[in-house]
Amino acid sequence: SMLLEMRNIRKSFSGVTVLRGVDFSLKAGEIHALVGHNGAGKSTLMKVLGGNYPDYEGEVVLAGEDVRLITPKTALAKGIAIIYQDFSLVPELTVADNIALGREPCGGLPGTIAHGALRKRSEREAQKLGIRLPMDVPVRSLGVGGQQLTEIVRACSQDVRILVMDEPTARLAPAERELLFSTMRRMAAERGVGIVYISHFLEEVCRLSDRVTIMRDGMVVETGVGAGYTVDSLAHLLVGHDLPQHEA
Ligand code: ADP
Ligand code: MG
Ligand code: MG
């Protein structure tokens, strides 16, 4: 059965409807790409899932249970972690402190025993995912790739069942991209995390995804098995033109 089912989701902003009855599902251990041109409604759908739009219409079923996602806290408590396009890190804090954000009510001041324990735990969380990060530098000194990985370690140090990444590779270097992909695969395979992955890189999408959902103009065009798509077929579905038929 499905880990997540979103049914007939609708969302408007001051009278303008941007989600027009969207169905989206996610299995445990699956990497599910969400693609569509700018403005298609991908981020809005994931913000509904993240509890940011309590006035959405439609149903959300999580592991068979009807849920109402009314605050980010509700979503997080249900194991839904979302990494948005704009990160929510505190640039001045160290990597270790950022990983612990929202986890330790009072981690202790740097130099104290409590802080040493926090740092160790953050490092362990990173190691579990096979991610190496310098724990004691301000996170702003890491570059986008390192910040992205810090976000992932933080999300996974909570009890995450669903991880959403909104255009995670947009600003990454190739080596950072590969590290991100292997991390995603491990989380899905070893922990059964369902991963939603929003990307404009169609080659990545074809290579990485178990399933793909294509959105256009606030609606789902189709959901299919990742291996069944090519860059060309996806590109055509994004714009709504049929593939040219080749003459026999
Ligand atoms: P995508 O992530 O696919 O690029 P978005 O979900 O960001 O698309 O946006 C879908 C549509 O909703 C766009 O037309 C966008 O302008 C609109 N929209 C998104 N967020 C808001 C908001 N907070 N207020 C008003 N309109 C919004
Ligand atoms: Mg956009
Ligand atoms: Mg977006």
Domain boundaries, the chain: 4-79+159-239, 91-147
pLDDT in tens, 187-197: 899 889 999 99
Q: How confident is the model at residue 91 (pLDDT cuts 50, 70, 90)?
A: confident
User: Whose C-alpha lies nearest to ligand 1, atom 21?
Assistant: 13
pTM: 0.88
43 lines ligand 1 (CB under 6 A): yes
Q: 39: Cβ below 6 Å to ligand 1?
A: yes
- Among residues 131, 129, 130, 103, the alpha carbon closest in space to that of 117 is found at 103
Q: Which of 93, 90, 67 is nearest to 161 (CA)?
A: 67
- 34 CB less than 6 Å from ligand 1? no
Q: What's the 38 CA to ligand 2 centre distance in angstroms?
A: 4
> What digits encode the pLDDT tens for the residues 32-57?
999 999 999 999 999 999 999 999 99
Query: Is the ipTM, as predicted for this complex, more than 0.90?
Result: yes
pLDDT given at position 80: 94
Any idea which architecture 4-79+159-239 has in CATH?
3-Layer(aba) Sandwich (3.40)
User: Which atom of ligand 1 lies nearest, measured to the CA of 13?
Assistant: 25
Q: How many Å apart are CA 112 and CA 140, to the nearest integer?
A: 23
